[in-house]
Amino acid sequence: MDDHELAEAVERGRAIQDRFEALGYARLVDAVAGYPRGSVVLPDGSVVVGYPSIGRLQSLAAGLRRHYSGPFWAEEKIDGFNVRIFRYADTLYALSRGGFVCPFSTDRLPDLLDPAIFDAEPDIVLCAEIAGPDNPYLEGHPPQVTEDVALFVFDMMYRGTSEFLSQDEKMARIERYGLPSTRIFGRYLPEDVEPLRKLILQLDAERSEGLVFKGEGDAGRAKYVTGWSNVADIELCSDQLLELPPGYFTKRLLRLALFAREHGRLADPELERSLGHAFMSGLTHAVERSQTMGRVGVQFRCRFRERRNAGHFMRHVRATGGHRIRLAENTPRREGEYWVLEFERVLERMTGTLATALAGASQFD
Amino acid sequence: MDDHELAEAVERGRAIQDRFEALGYARLVDAVAGYPRGSVVLPDGSVVVGYPSIGRLQSLAAGLRRHYSGPFWAEEKIDGFNVRIFRYADTLYALSRGGFVCPFSTDRLPDLLDPAIFDAEPDIVLCAEIAGPDNPYLEGHPPQVTEDVALFVFDMMYRGTSEFLSQDEKMARIERYGLPSTRIFGRYLPEDVEPLRKLILQLDAERSEGLVFKGEGDAGRAKYVTGWSNVADIELCSDQLLELPPGYFTKRLLRLALFAREHGRLADPELERSLGHAFMSGLTHAVERSQTMGRVGVQFRCRFRERRNAGHFMRHVRATGGHRIRLAENTPRREGEYWVLEFERVLERMTGTLATALAGASQFD
């Protein structure tokens, strides 16, 4: 993107100038010159293009029939957060979906992948999910990451283009550079509903989030999640019942019902108990926290290699989460090679509503 | 209310002139001259005052402590709809909460109560709940009404005043005229938390909706529902997940968690399964209806003594529910002494969302 275009976008509020240590950059908060929201313009004018959102199928058989007429790949969907990793002036950075340099992900990149690919292809951008219990954004994590965080590459592109490398090109690089990647289950055709049904039920039993389908050629992408992932999301977030948009819960309930009906899990007592438990465990925990602590909040813990990156992260979180963030005492603190950061996001509506209810106030419907 | 006041209220849109057969009346859609919304002005200027809304306690112990310093009565809360019954020009009428003459309730009054009290006290207004499986408004009903509908008187007042008769005056009339009434469990003091806890747990086991507390003297009213009633409401309405305001579900989930925590039902697997079942049964039924019928709807059935009242009722429902109402074929039809009306309220958002999902469309979050 040339300087003039960028200056005009900044002027119109469609791009915002930002900085992370030595790197000055602009992130697009709206589409500009054909680049989507979340794209980032680097000092040399090159662009790390925003990662597109992927439509979600709610019916496996009908969805595949409608979206694909030719071959597509099925890969595992990982319950983490999306980053785009690039190298600029000899430094690796990780961008969040919105186009911020993420201080946490950037700090941890040396632990998470071998950067050799960037020596061979300096303009490459790796699209990856970072997931695990010690992440600063999400409460959920995939079953295969039991501590800290791990990284799963699932797409590659070059700066300046929104086109991804083909599946073959991507798989060749994953192998050549030993990159950690999402599981690739294989190449399917639209009529392969039965093998894919078996696969999604196996992933459901493994407590995986689900599948992403990637069409060959011009065919697009789509995702399809397990029934279990809906229950897990509700369980993790039921203590945030009043903070999240109501659609958070209603969409997951509908998806779960559609999954149960399509895959023969109707009136399954174990599924019903899990769903009831998902709501009750978070909510009764919230009531308990309200009674014992006087507030309801979500705890986060994550590790940094560099203390200054923990500082960058906390400034970023405070700028976006404001006074709802409470740092733990004595944080960040040294633990082995790392700096451990612990903080809480206070749930203000849950805190207020429960305090009022427990004080004996009456409510008018 | 004098003619001038009423004319001005109508002029300002705070009252609406309406008619039910021979009775012309005005219903207040806003407070007028000290009378609340839902009050009805009769041709002689007398007013049937609107029934007040009652605050809901979310904590039994703290709520009683906060709301009462002296004695109060505990009565059963019935899962039905509120009517006010009065006599005018030798005819009995039943008003809905909003101040409409309800054609269904008015039609059925001769079946539901002995009108002798109106001979003795022509100005009396009986406040009652009408409840049962064959009602045209609600899906739920109390366990003790297994067919048709029944009526439960719980308050009395005279026209022109919003003051209720005292508990003693009310109980004397219920007994003298053999009126059907809600169960009155007795007179309690704010320190009687333990007996009331036992009572609410007994009602929970009986699948009753809960309690209404009525303070003596100046002390006010409050209601407190069983944990079960929240699960029952969710079960009855989960097929309306996208039609009801999201607060419908979140409020009940929170109340259930508060009930579970206060009354020691934490991590109760039976409660969890019931809650999960409550969501799943309605939703999977909705998916099934979408697949088989192409639409999702709620079925109602009720009986009328007079065919013309069924007509009045359907005109009223169409005026408020519009094209979402589908009459069954051959309705109303004669069954014994009654005219049976059957209709369906179509749930447009559920119908549309499920049709799209089942057709294989993808959804962007």
Q: What is the CATH number of the domain that holds B64?
A: 3.30.1490.70
Interface of B with A in 6-45 (CB under 8 A): none
Chain B contact present for A288, CB below 8 A = yes
> In Å, how far is B348's CA from the nearest CA of chain A?
15
Q: What is the DSSP string of B323-342?
A: GGEEEPTT-SEEETTEEEEE
| Per-residue confidence (pLDDT) for residue B100, from 0 to 100 | 96
**pLDDT of residue B321 exceeding 90:** no
Residue B121 lies in a domain: no
Residue of chain B nearest A286, judged by CA positions = B257
Strand-pair category, B23-28 with B297-304: unpaired
Residue contact B260–A357, C-beta within 8 A? no
**pLDDT of residue B129 exceeding 80:** yes
Same domain, A128 and A149: yes
Distance CA B189, CA B252 (A): 27
N- to C-terminal Cα distance for chain B? 54
Residue A132 lies in a domain: yes
Residue A301 lies in a domain: yes
Residue contact B365–A63, C-beta within 8 A? no
Enumerate the residues of chain A whose CB falls inside 8 A of the CB of residue B61.
Answer: 360
Q: What's the pTM value of the predicted model, to 2 decimals?
A: 0.93
Strand-pair category, B81-88 with B124-131: antiparallel
Chain A contact present for B52, CB below 8 A = no
**pLDDT of residue A226 exceeding 90:** yes
Same domain, A44 and A89: yes
Residue contact A280–B280, C-beta within 8 A? no
Residue A356 lies in a domain: no
Distance CA B300, CA B327 (A): 10
| Per-residue confidence (pLDDT) for residue B316, from 0 to 100 | 85
Same domain, A137 and A90: yes
Residues B139-166: tens digit of each pLDDT: 999 999 999 999 999 999 999 998 999 9
Count of structural domains within chain A: 3
Residue A138 tokens read as 């999400």
Residues A260, A261, A265, A268, CA torsion sign: positive
Same domain, A185 and A85: yes
Residue B132 lies in a domain: no
Which of the four pLDDT bands, split at 50, 70 and 90, describes residue A365? confident
Residue contact A279–B281, C-beta within 8 A? no
Peptide linkage before A195 cis (omega within 30 of 0):
no
Same domain, A155 and A267: no
Residue A78 lies in a domain: yes
What CATH number is associated with residue B262? Answer: 1.20.58.2250
Contact B252, B234 (CB under 8 A): yes
Distance of CA A52 to the CA centre of its chain: 13
Same domain, B270 and B303: no
Residue B156 lies in a domain: no
Residues B68, B71, B74, B80, CA torsion sign: negative
Which of the four pLDDT bands, split at 50, 70 and 90, describes residue A217? confident
Chain A contact present for B248, CB below 8 A = no
Chain B contact present for A174, CB below 8 A = no
Same domain, A86 and A166: yes
Q: What is the DSSP string of A94-148?
A: EE-TTS-B-HHHHHHHHHH--THHHHH-TTEEEEEEEESSS-SS-S---TT--SS
Residues A19-67: tens digit of each pLDDT: 999 999 999 999 999 999 999 999 999 999 999 999 999 999 999 999 9
> In Å, how far is A270's CA from the nearest CA of chain B?
8
- H helix or E strand, kind and range, residue A12: none
**pLDDT of residue A267 exceeding 90:** no
> In Å, how far is A58's CA from the nearest CA of chain B?
5
Same domain, B306 and B270: no
> In Å, how far is A43's CA from the nearest CA of chain B?
32
Please give the average per-residue pLDDT across A195-223, as a whole number: 94
**pLDDT of residue B320 exceeding 80:** no
Tell me which residue range forms the domain holding A43. Answer: 16-225
Distance of CA A176 to the CA centre of its chain: 26
Residue contact A59–B360, C-beta within 8 A? yes
| Per-residue confidence (pLDDT) for residue A319, from 0 to 100 | 81
Same domain, A200 and A281: no
Percent of chain B surpassing pLDDT 70: 99
| Per-residue confidence (pLDDT) for residue B317, from 0 to 100 | 84
Same domain, A149 and A242: no
Rounded to whole angstroms, what are the CA distances from B321 to A319, B82, B282, B301, B303?
Answer: 47, 19, 22, 16, 20
Residue B362 lies in a domain: no
Residues B218-265: tens digit of each pLDDT: 779 999 999 999 999 999 999 999 999 989 999 999 999 999 999 988
Please give the average per-residue pLDDT across B195-213, as a whole number: 97
- H helix or E strand, kind and range, residue B103: helix B103-112
| Per-residue confidence (pLDDT) for residue B84, from 0 to 100 | 98
Chain B contact present for A264, CB below 8 A = no
What contacts 24+ positions apart, CB below 8 Å, involve B23-27?
B23/B88, B23/B89, B23/B91, B23/B93, B23/B101, B25/B101, B27/B98, B27/B99, B27/B100
Chain A contact present for B318, CB below 8 A = no
Lowest average pLDDT, out of A138-142, A178-182, A274-278, goes to: A138-142
What CATH number is associated with residue A151? Answer: 3.30.470.30
Domain ends where: A225, A253, A271?
A225
Chain B contact present for A234, CB below 8 A = no
Residue of chain A nearest B356, judged by CA positions = A58
> Which residue, among B212, B204, B185, B214, has the nearest Cα to B256 in the 3D structure?
B204
Rounded to whole angstroms, what are the CA distances from B267 to A281, A355, B261, B273, B278?
Answer: 7, 22, 9, 11, 17
> In Å, how far is B87's CA from the nearest CA of chain A?
30
Same domain, B70 and B204: yes
Distance CA A96, CA A88 (A): 16
Which of the four pLDDT bands, split at 50, 70 and 90, describes residue A344? very high
Chain A contact present for B283, CB below 8 A = yes
Same domain, A210 and A320: no
- H helix or E strand, kind and range, residue B267: none
Choose the mutation target among B283, B296, B353 for the interface with A, i.e. most A CBs under 10 Å.
B283
Hey, how many other C-beta atoms are within 10 angstroms of the C-beta on A69? 11
> In Å, how far is B221's CA from the nearest CA of chain A?
10
Residues A70-123: tens digit of each pLDDT: 999 999 999 999 999 999 999 999 999 999 999 999 999 999 999 999 999 999
> In Å, how far is A220's CA from the nearest CA of chain B?
11
Chain A contact present for B131, CB below 8 A = no
**Residue A314 three-state SS:** helix
Enumerate the residues of chain A whose CB falls inside 8 A of the CB of residue B274.
Answer: 276
